[in-house]
Amino acid sequence: MNNAPFPPSRRTLLKSLSSGFGYLAYASLAAEDAAKSDRRNLPVQSPHFPARAKQVIFLCMKGGPSHVDTFDYKPELQKRNGEPWRGGPARLLASAQKFKQYGESGIHISSLFPHLAKNHADDLCVINSMHTDLPNHPQAYAQLHTGSFQFVRPSLGAWSLYGLGSPNQNLPGFVTLNPPSDMGGANNYGSAFLPAIYQGAKIGGGQLPALFSALSGKTEEPGPPMKNIENPHVSRKTQRAQIDLIAGLDQRKLEQDHYHPEIEGSIQSFELAYRMQDEIPDVLDIKSEPESIQKLYGIGRPGDGDRFAKQCLLARRLVESGVRFVEVTAPTSWDHHSLLNQNLAKSCDVTDQPIAALLTDLKNRGMLKDTLVVWSGEFGRTPYAQGLGDGRDHNNKGYSMWMAGGGVKGGYAHGSTDDFGYKAIDKPVHIHDLHATILHLLGLDHERLTYNYAGREFRLTDVYGNVVEEILG
């Protein structure tokens, strides 16, 4: 029955493809597929509605910073130091920090963050009524990053990238700087069931679990800052010839197959990779920054401050180059079960100047309005003392975090905890709400940003989440 030459000769096919119905149909399908395969190369996608922020820098304060010593001022707690907590054996522990109102807005910040308070109080949008589901590090850390503590789910960064793509094709769209090796490790920047292209690229070694770090004296795992980014055994000239040969051979195959997105995509990705090799080392080279900038961040200070300063500066360089989502994990623990006053002061000292510098730097470059800076730990700490009396325990029921830039209301404190800072009571904001809000700021509707996996539409906020409208600038 079917007597047409089969398969059609290349000439017939091309002829029919180069005009009329066939061509249009083919072109449209090819475009469709190219878009699909291009999606693998992360082109910019339009958001659901106009975005307030184009990129995110997430400053992750692993361990759970004490909110009642930093951003949540509780006069009642100060007054009732040493009183039993709810009739139990635990005693209330007043903060040893001096709180003051800063900026025109007069938001309360403790003396532990002098740079931030002095220069950026009016940029900060503090949420004092955060809460999360569990007071246990690994679960809360996973929930902060993926919305779920029970299942392996895509991370906030992966979802953002999935929704928006990336403006720079020569760099990964989602970068995480020195993430912890424990606390779920790669799950916290993973893509789970989303395609692998959306997962975060780790730059720098993973931070080791605190206990191991304390015993071994090492803080980071070894390894190059990024894998396979250079080949010391081959010259650029030879590599160029290789890329041309690969493209040439694949092009022959593509012509035979007429339509083969996988081959086409590969030709493109080798070109990109070739360019990435040059771009990444440049972006990572913070020595090229003027001395004044290095000084602003506090590069060269002794201890962990230097390291965190470099991370913050690198974060700016990455978003400036078009990376969509950058996470920075502070190289200091906030898990102050004991010796709270000394250790909290140390953690604040390590992070204060670099963070203030980052905000200043972004502002001076006109980037702060498009860049959402998020500062948060996985939970806060109890208003009562723990154990030997000089520390605070985990508290998931109420804590503080802040955001700046990227379309949030500056100089604003949202919601509140009870008189002691124990529980969020006014306008509580759950992690799901925070996620919904961050996506919203990026122009994404958290209910529409879905991915079909195993026959079900999944989203970052599962079936929860409300955008916190009040904090939108």
**Positions in 266-325 near another protein (CB under 8 A):** 266-267, 269-270, 272-274, 276-277
Is residue 260 involved in binding another protein (CB under 8 A)?
yes
Q: Is 368 exposed, middle or buried (0-12, 13-18, 19+ CB in 10 A)?
A: buried
Residue 87 or 454: which CB sits closer to another protein?
Answer: 454
Torsion of CA 198, 203, 205, 210, to 10 degrees: -70
Q: How far from each other are the two terminal CA atoms of the chain, in whole angstroms?
A: 69
Among 142, 350, 404, 408, binds another protein (CB under 8 A): 142
Among 34, 90, 263, 345, binds another protein (CB under 8 A): 263
Among 165, 206, 406, 428, binds another protein (CB under 8 A): 206
Is residue 182 involved in binding another protein (CB under 8 A)?
yes
- Residue 446's DSSP bridge partners are none
Using alpha carbons only, give the angle 285, 438, 344 rounded to the nearest 5 degrees. 65
Residue 52 or 108: which CB sits closer to another protein?
Answer: 52
Among 183, 283, 373, 408, binds another protein (CB under 8 A): 183
- Report the DSSP pairing between strands 391-395 and 380-386: antiparallel
What one-character DSSP code corresponds to residue 91?
B
Position 43, amino acid: P
Among 80, 91, 100, 258, binds another protein (CB under 8 A): 258
What gap in Å lies between CA 455 and CA 466, rounded to an integer?
A: 25
358-417 positions binding another protein, by CB under 8 A: 388-389
What gap in Å lies between CA 276 and CA 41, rounded to an integer?
A: 13
Is residue 35 involved in binding another protein (CB under 8 A)?
no
422-451 positions binding another protein, by CB under 8 A: 445, 448
- Stretch of residues binding another protein (CB under 8 A), selected from 92-100, 191-199, 326-334, 351-359: 191-199
Tell me if 432 sits within 8 A of 147, measured CB to CB: yes
C-beta of 280: minimal distance to another protein in Å?
10
The number of residues that bind another protein (CB under 8 A) is 104
- Stretch of residues binding another protein (CB under 8 A), selected from 70-78, 302-310, 409-417, 454-462: 454-462
Tell me if 401 sits within 8 A of 129, measured CB to CB: no
Is residue 196 involved in binding another protein (CB under 8 A)?
yes
- Stretch of residues binding another protein (CB under 8 A), selected from 87-95, 180-188, 393-401, 403-411: 180-188
C-beta of 183: minimal distance to another protein in Å?
6
Hey, is 464 helix, strand or coil? Answer: coil
Is residue 84 involved in binding another protein (CB under 8 A)?
no
What one-character DSSP code corresponds to residue 166?
-
Is residue 341 involved in binding another protein (CB under 8 A)?
no
Hey, is 100 helix, strand or coil? Answer: strand
212-241 positions binding another protein, by CB under 8 A: 212, 214-216, 218, 221-223, 227-231, 233-234, 237-239, 241
Is residue 11 involved in binding another protein (CB under 8 A)?
no
Hey, is 239 helix, strand or coil? Answer: helix
Is residue 44 involved in binding another protein (CB under 8 A)?
no
What gap in Å lies between CA 110 and CA 87, rounded to an integer?
A: 29
Q: Is 332 exposed, middle or buried (0-12, 13-18, 19+ CB in 10 A)?
A: buried
Is residue 455 involved in binding another protein (CB under 8 A)?
yes
C-beta of 201: minimal distance to another protein in Å?
8
Among 40, 301, 363, 369, binds another protein (CB under 8 A): 40
- Stretch of residues binding another protein (CB under 8 A), selected from 113-121, 156-164, 197-205, 412-420: 197-205
Position 371, amino acid: T
What gap in Å lies between CA 333 and CA 180, rounded to an integer?
A: 11
What gap in Å lies between CA 220 and CA 108, rounded to an integer?
A: 35
Tell me the CB-side half-sphere exposure of residue 32, using CA atoms within 13 A: 6
Is residue 181 involved in binding another protein (CB under 8 A)?
yes
Residue 37 or 417: which CB sits closer to another protein?
Answer: 37
